[in-house]
Amino acid sequence: MNLNRYSNMQFFSEHCWQPTHKWPAHDPLWPHLKHWLTHPGSLTEQLAKHFNSKVSVHLHRQQWLTATKEEQQYLGITPDTLTNIREITLFVRQQPCILARTVIPKETLSGNYQNLLTIKEQPLGHFLFGNANIIRLPQFELTTLKTADLPIQHDLPLPSEQVWGRRSRFLLSQKPLMITEYFLPFLLHSIENEQIGKPAASDILTTSSPSNDH
């Protein structure tokens, strides 16, 4: 996968999100990437299946903050709305695959949804999926950017490459929550290898490698 093929495109950037139908469909890898970037179910389960291995969560931070202006607009909340922000990395076999940021307005965290404040290093998908009162809105938005420009605080030793991001909204009893997920180079290279028939990362890394239990 040529991760830098869109390096000169201003259409997708850290501050420019577009719906999936505007993604460059002429890219021969798009059909395979689309399956990942628009997958409506649990990304944790999808990773576990792809690598045939356990997925672990490293919590970078979770605290009460003001969402960015762009996040406020996406969620439809006012600038004075207090939000709980959770930033994590999903690891498979000690390799970072997904960097994610969840923004939850305070008014969403009522009743049983207050449990989202204490999930710590449990996968968020275990809470969101399978609950009849929680729905994921069908429209994803996508972007690309360099690893150096990732807008989430982290200490990951990432190579200087292009990454893909997606964001989506959930309704928890009709109250909003948003998740932004960045697909990191290790995962993107594994998708490429699977697409062109090379040994995938799940084959290269031995199953005896310890998982990252942060």
Give CA–CA dist 144/165, Å, rounded: 6
3 known member of a binding site = no
192 known member of a binding site = no
Give CA–CA dist 131/53, Å, rounded: 25
Give CA–CA dist 125/45, Å, rounded: 8
Give CA–CA dist 90/129, Å, rounded: 17
181 known member of a binding site = yes
The annotation places the binding site at: 86, 124, 181
The annotation places the binding site for substrate at: 86, 124, 181
